[in-house]
Amino acid sequence: MTTFDNALTNAAARDVSRSDVEDLLYYEAKLLDEWQLDQWAQLYTDDAEYLIPANDLPDGDEKRDLLLVHDNKFRLLARVDRLKSRKAHREYPHATTRHQVTNVRIESQKPDEVCATAYFTVWRFREGRDDHYVGRYDYRLRRLDGILKIRYKRAVMDMTVLRPAGAVSIIL
């Protein structure tokens, strides 16, 4: 069991602290930057949702409005498989990324769910080009078998357009 797993297991016996949430979000960022996508996907519950709303409607209703990404766990795993394959031309060879997570806050806490927010900047470097994505994460976290997991992640970008990046081909 890693230090990270120990911290999350200890969180099961008490209220989740901001430090517990930061540990999870920083670990998620590390896994993404190291392209350890299979391990990253295991941070999510089986009923997880991963969303990126359209830039022109960042606070839209995911049941009614267009989203750039709206993955459940099955689609999230398919995204991981696709990104690891040579067929993912925008990400093969893999881009170098740096996920920076800041201003982590717990918004509310119930016995079965923690709602948290954080700000992000994600840098993507590939073929002499660098792109960046800036915004806010909204999380709903849940304890499962004593471990803190991600039930819901919404990455709301601050940019009004995706240029110069043009697309979101990485996992924010």
Domain-located, residue 11: no
Phi, psi angles (nearest 5°) of residue 114: -120, 125
Q: How many domains does the chain have?
A: 1
Peptide bond into 93 cis (omega under 30): yes
Domain extent for 52: 18-157
Domain-located, residue 169: no
Please state, in angstroms and rounded to a whole number, the distance separating the CA atoms of residues 124 and 83: 14
At how many degrees (to 10) do helices 3-11 and 18-33 cross?
140
According to the model, what pLDDT value does residue 85 have? 84
Q: pLDDT, tens digit, for every residue of 23-77?
A: 999 999 999 999 999 999 999 999 999 999 987 777 777 777 778 899 999 999 9
